[in-house]
Amino acid sequence: MEANEPDVRIMKGNEALAEAALRAGMHAYFGYPITPQSEILEYLMAHGQKRGAIVLQAESEVASINMVYGAAGAGRRVMITSSSPGVSLMMEGLSYIAAAELPCLVANIQRGGPGLGTIQPSQGDYFQATKGGGHGDYHLIVLAPASVQEMADFVFDGFRLAETYRNPAMILADGALGQMMEKLVLPPAGSLPHRVPEWATVGKPKKRERNIITSLHIEPEKMEQINLHLQEKYRTIREKEVRFETFHTDDADIILVAFGLSSRICQKTVELAREKNISVGLVRPITLYPFPKSILNTLADIANAFLVVEMNAGQMVEDVQLAVNGKKPVYFKGRMGGMIPSPEEVLREVELIAEHHTVQA
Amino acid sequence: MIRGTIIVAQDTCKGCELCIVACPQDCIEMSERLNVRGYRYAQLKNDTCTGCVNCALVCPDVAITVYRQPKSTSKKIQPAAAVA
Amino acid sequence: MTQVIEGMELVYEKPQTMTDAYLHYCPGCGHSVAHRLLMEVVQEMGIQDRTVGVAPVGCSVFAYNYMNIDMQEAAHGRACAVATGVKRVMPDKFIFTYQGDGDLAAIGTAETVHTINRGENILIVFINNGVYGMTGGQMAPTTLIGMKTTTSPYGREQATMGYPLKITEMISVLPGAFYVTRQAVHTAAAVRKTKKAFEKAFEYQKLNRGTCFIEIVSNCPSGWKMTPVESNEWMEKNMFPLYPLGDIKVPTQLN
C-alpha cells in the first residue's frame, strides 16, 4: 500500500470497531463474550496483544467494567464492549466511572430485550444509554453510528470526547451494524495522541499530593458540589458537542427522525415518498446525548409533522417531543424484539400522516 | 535495666486500653481526665517502661511514640527523632 | 513533628506513609493496625512512589484518607477487578486491595476467586471480623454459627443461614495463589508476624508468580457489642478455632 493511499477494506462492523480501537492507541480492553458482539473480543485477542494492547477476557461484565475503572484510573485509554444484557450489568460500574470522572469508551451492540431477549438487532437501550442508566445524576456521551465506516470513525471520536471531558462515552450500535459487512476506509494509526494525565493513580512521587480516584463524598455539601460540577460539564457538552445529519429537510412537510440503523431505512423512505410527491425529510441525530434539540425545534416552524422511527417501543420519541415542544404533532413508528422496520412500512405511516396534514402545494 | 518512655498523642487516643494489656511492665493507665473527643487517654503511671514498643504495636490509633535509652550510654546520644 | 527526648533514642513512631488524618475507626478496631503495618512496609521498602492501593466498601472505605499513597476507591466487592485493571496496565507497580469479609467473601466472591485464579500479581488483604461493621453489625459470610448479629438476632443458624465461609482455605487451592496466610493484629507478637507477612507479600510481588493473600482475623468491638479488650479475648476463644492462624500456602520454590 502506498503511504498516502486510503486503507480501504471490507469488514464486519464489530471488526472495524476493534481494528479502529487498536489504531486509536487503545491501551487496554476488558471484555466478556455475548452475541452479537463477540467478534470484538475475538478480534482483539487475535490482534491486540501482538500490537501492544492489554486484552483480557473477564469473568463477567461486572468484573470487566471495574477493570476499566482501574485501568482508566491509572490514566490509560481503555475500551469495553458488550450487548444489551451485558451492558445492564455494567450500569453500577458506569455510575462510579462517571462520578469519578474517568474517561473510557463503551460500545453497546444492542440486541432485543427486555430480559435475555433475542440476539437480533434492537434500539431498546436508548433510555439506558442517554438518561444515565445507573444510579444518580450522570450522563454518558452517546454516539450512534449508522454504517461500518462510522463504527470505526466513532471510536476515535469517542476516545477524544471521553478524554476531553473526563467522562465515559458510548457507541450505541446494534446487532445489524455489528454483523454487517461494508466497505470502509480505516482511519490511520497514530492520529490520536495520548499522555497519562496528572490525576492518574500511578504511584505518588514525593513532591506531589496523593491522587485518589473515588466517587464517595460523605458530606452532602461536598456531594452537591460534585453534582453541580458534573452538571456544568454536561451543559458544556450540550453546547459544544451536538452532532446530527439532515437529509432533504429544507422543503419537507414531514420530518422523519431516526438514529443508527433506523436512519438508513428512513433515508430510503424519504426517497420513496418523494417519488410519490410527498415531501419528506430526515433528521438523524448522531450524538444521542447531547441530543440535537434546536434543529428539531427550528424545523418545527417549517414542517407540518414529525415521525420518529425506532427499533423499540418509543424512546427517542420523548426527546423529540421535548424538542418540538408542542409546535407540531410528533408521531411514532416502532418495531421491537429484534424486528427491523422496512422502508415501505415506514412509507405507509408517512402516507397516513400526509392525509391528516394538509400538504402545501 | 533498659529505660524507656512513651509519648501518647492525647487527643488521638480513643482509650481502647489495648496498650495496657500489651504492656509487660504494667506501666500504662487510663487518665482521669477526658481528651477533646471525650475519651480517657493512655498515660504512663510509673517509670518502669523499657521502651519495648509492644504498646505502640497494638495501638489502633498510632497514638504512641516510643523512646529508649541507647544500650551504650558512652556514645554521644543523638536521638533518631532528628529524622522526623 | 516527633518530639526529641534528651538521652533517649526514638524507637517507634508513626510512619510517614500515613497521613495526619484522625482515624475514624471505633476504639480498639484492628483495621488501623493493619493500615499502619501496610504503610510501614511501603515506607521501609521505599516503594511509596510505585504503590497503588484499592480501597473497598465497608468500614475501610476511607482507607485512602489514611494511606499516603495513590489509591482508588472500588465499588462494593469489585476491588480485585479494579486492581486487575490497575496492575495489567502497570505491571511494574505494587498493587494491593484491602477488603473486609462482606466485600471480599460475599458480594465480591466471583471477582476474588477469578482474580486469584488468573494469578494476578497483586496483594489481597482480607480483614475478617465476621460482621458487616459499616452498616451496623449485620451477618457476614464469615459469621460464626450461633453468633448474634443484627440480622441473625437469635444467632446464626446453619439450617437457614448457611455455614461460615472459609474463603481463605478455598482460594488457597487455586494454582494462581502464590502465598496464602492467616494472621491477626491483636497482640504485639501477632502484629510482628503480620508485618513479616506483608513484607513477604510485597517481595513476592516482584517475582510475578501469582496472587498473595493475607487474611487478618480481627475484632469488631462495636459490632460484637464488647469492649476492645473483651473483643480480643472473644476472638481468640471463638474465631481462632474456626479460623486458625498460620500459613496456608507458602511458596516452595522462589526462583
Kindly report the average pLDDT of chain C as a whole number.
97
pLDDT value of position C3:
87
Residue C147 makes CB contacts below 8 A (sequence gap 6+) with: C130, C139, C155, C156, C238
How many other β-carbons are positioned within 10 Å of the β-carbon of residue B17? 18
In degrees and rounded to multiples of 5, residue C118 shows phi and psi of -80, -10
Helix (H, G, I), strand (E, B) or coil at A90: coil
Residue C252 makes CB contacts below 8 A (sequence gap 6+) with: none
pLDDT value of position C254:
73
Q: Are C89 and A54 in contact (CB under 8 A)?
A: yes
Going by pLDDT thresholds of 50, 70 and 90, the confidence category of residue B84 is: very low
pLDDT value of position C253:
76
Class of domain C31-246 (CATH, top level): alpha beta
Q: List residues bridging with A333 in a β-sheet.
A: A309
pLDDT value of position B80:
45
Strand boundaries in chain C, DSSP class E: 9-12, 51-55, 70-73, 94-100, 123-128, 131-132, 138-139, 177-184, 211-217, 246-249
- Asked if the Cβ–Cβ distance from A203 to C93 is below 8 Å, we say yes
- Asked if the Cβ–Cβ distance from A96 to C75 is below 8 Å, we say yes
Q: What is the Cα–Cα distance from C114 to A30, expressed in whole angstroms? A: 14
Q: Are A45 and A74 in contact (CB under 8 A)?
A: no
pLDDT value of position A358:
58
- Asked if the Cβ–Cβ distance from A28 to C88 is below 8 Å, we say yes
What average pLDDT does this structure show over C123-148?
Answer: 96
Residue of B8, B37, B61, B75 for testing the chain C interface, max C β-carbons within 10 Å? B61
Angle at C127 between CA B12 and CA A96, to 5 degrees: 90
Q: List residues bridging with C95 in a β-sheet.
A: C52
Cell of A59: 469473568
Q: Are A354 and A329 in contact (CB under 8 A)?
A: no
Q: Which amino acid is located at A303 in the chain?
A: A
Going by pLDDT thresholds of 50, 70 and 90, the confidence category of residue B78 is: very low
Cell of A67: 477493570
What residues of A are in contact with residue C121 (Cβ under 8 Å)?
A: none
Q: Are A209 and A293 in contact (CB under 8 A)?
A: no
* Chains touching A by CB (3 or more pairs below 8 Å): C
Q: Report in angstroms the alpha-carbon separations of A71 from A107, A213, C49.
A: 17, 11, 18
Q: Which amino acid is located at C172 in the chain?
A: S
Domain ranges of chain A: 7-240, 245-356
* CA atoms within 13 A of residue C114's CA, in its CB half-sphere: 22
Residue reference for cell 502464590: C178
- C24 and chain A: CB distance < 8 Å anywhere? no
Nearest CB neighbour to C12, from listed B16, B53, B61: B53
Concatenate the DSSP letters of all residues of A243-306 into one string: -EEEES-TT-SEEEE--HHHHHHHHHHHHHHHHTT--EEEEEESEEES--HHHHHHHTTT-SEE
Class of domain A245-356 (CATH, top level): alpha beta
Kindly report the average pLDDT of chain B as a whole number.
88
What residues of A are in contact with residue C83 (Cβ under 8 Å)?
A: 70
pLDDT value of position C1:
66
Helix (H, G, I), strand (E, B) or coil at C179: strand
Residue of chain C with shortest Cα separation from B12? C22
CA distance A338 to chain C (A): 32
Domain ranges of chain C: 31-246
* Chains touching B by CB (3 or more pairs below 8 Å): C
CATH value of A7-240 in 3.40.50.970, 3.40.50.1110, 3.40.50.170, 3.40.50.300: 3.40.50.970
Concatenate the DSSP letters of all residues of A296-318 into one string: HHHHTTT-SEEEEEESSSSSHHH
- B83 has pLDDT over 60: no
Over the Cα atoms of chain A, what is R_g? 21
Q: What is the Cα–Cα distance from A340 to A111, expressed in whole angstroms? A: 11
Instruction: pLDDT tens for chain A, 361 residues: list them.
Output: 566 789 999 999 999 999 999 999 999 999 999 999 999 999 999 999 999 999 999 999 999 999 999 999 999 999 999 999 999 999 999 999 999 999 999 999 999 999 999 999 999 999 999 999 999 999 999 999 999 999 999 999 999 999 999 999 999 999 999 999 999 999 999 999 999 999 999 999 999 999 999 999 999 999 999 999 999 999 999 999 999 999 999 999 999 999 999 999 999 999 999 999 999 999 999 999 999 999 999 999 999 999 999 999 999 999 999 999 999 999 999 999 999 999 999 999 999 999 987 555 4
Q: Are C111 and C80 in contact (CB under 8 A)?
A: yes
Cell of B72: 551504650
How many other β-carbons are positioned within 10 Å of the β-carbon of residue C144? 20
CA distance C142 to chain B (A): 23
Q: Report in angstroms the alpha-carbon separations of A218 from C23, C51, C56, C61.
A: 15, 26, 15, 11
Q: Which amino acid is located at C216 in the chain?
A: I
Q: Are C248 and C211 in contact (CB under 8 A)?
A: no
CA distance C64 to chain A (A): 7
Q: Which amino acid is located at A76 in the chain?
A: R
- The pLDDT tens digits of the residues spanning C6-56 come to 889 999 999 999 999 999 999 999 999 999 999 999 999 999 999 999 999
pLDDT value of position B71:
78
Same fold, A7-240 and A245-356: yes
- The pLDDT tens digits of the residues spanning C157-192 come to 999 999 999 999 999 999 999 999 999 999 999 999
Going by pLDDT thresholds of 50, 70 and 90, the confidence category of residue C234 is: very high
pLDDT value of position B74:
44
What number does CATH give the domain B4-71?
3.30.70.20
Q: In angstroms, how far is the first alpha carbon of chain B from the final one? A: 27
CA distance B1 to chain C (A): 14
- Asked if the Cβ–Cβ distance from C13 to B4 is below 8 Å, we say no
- Asked if the Cβ–Cβ distance from C229 to B80 is below 8 Å, we say no
- The pLDDT tens digits of the residues spanning C205-227 come to 999 999 999 999 999 999 999 99
Concatenate the DSSP letters of all residues of C66-88 into one string: HB-SEEEEPPTT-HHHHHHHHHH
Report ipTM (2 d.p.): 0.96
Q: What is the Cα–Cα distance from A129 to A88, expressed in whole angstroms? A: 10
Q: Are B79 and C4 in contact (CB under 8 A)?
A: yes
In degrees and rounded to multiples of 5, residue A61 shows phi and psi of -70, -30
Cell of C34: 493493619
Q: List residues bridging with A8 in a β-sheet.
A: A185
Q: What is the Cα–Cα distance from C74 to C80, expressed in whole angstroms? A: 9
Q: Report in angstroms the alpha-carbon separations of A186 from A2, A154, A244, A310.
A: 14, 11, 22, 28
CA distance C69 to chain A (A): 5
Cell of A145: 453510528
Q: Are C57 and C37 in contact (CB under 8 A)?
A: no
Residue of B13, B67, B72, B74 for testing the chain C interface, max C β-carbons within 10 Å? B67
- The pLDDT tens digits of the residues spanning B9-51 come to 999 999 999 999 999 999 999 999 999 999 999 999 999 999 9
pLDDT value of position A4:
76
- C137 has pLDDT over 50: yes
Q: Which amino acid is located at C125 in the chain?
A: V
Domain ranges of chain B: 4-71
Q: Are A309 and A333 in contact (CB under 8 A)?
A: yes
Q: What is the Cα–Cα distance from C194 to B40, expressed in whole angstroms? A: 29
Q: Are A303 and A254 in contact (CB under 8 A)?
A: yes
pLDDT value of position C2:
82
What residues of C are in contact with residue B72 (Cβ under 8 Å)?
A: none
Q: Report in angstroms the alpha-carbon separations of C38 from A94, B38, C249.
A: 30, 29, 20
C residues 181-200 near B, CB within 8 Å? Answer: 185-188, 191-192
Q: Which amino acid is located at C224 in the chain?
A: W
Q: Is the dihedral of CA A154, A156, A159, A161 positive or negative?
A: negative
- The pLDDT tens digits of the residues spanning C64-102 come to 999 999 999 999 999 999 999 999 999 999 999 999 999
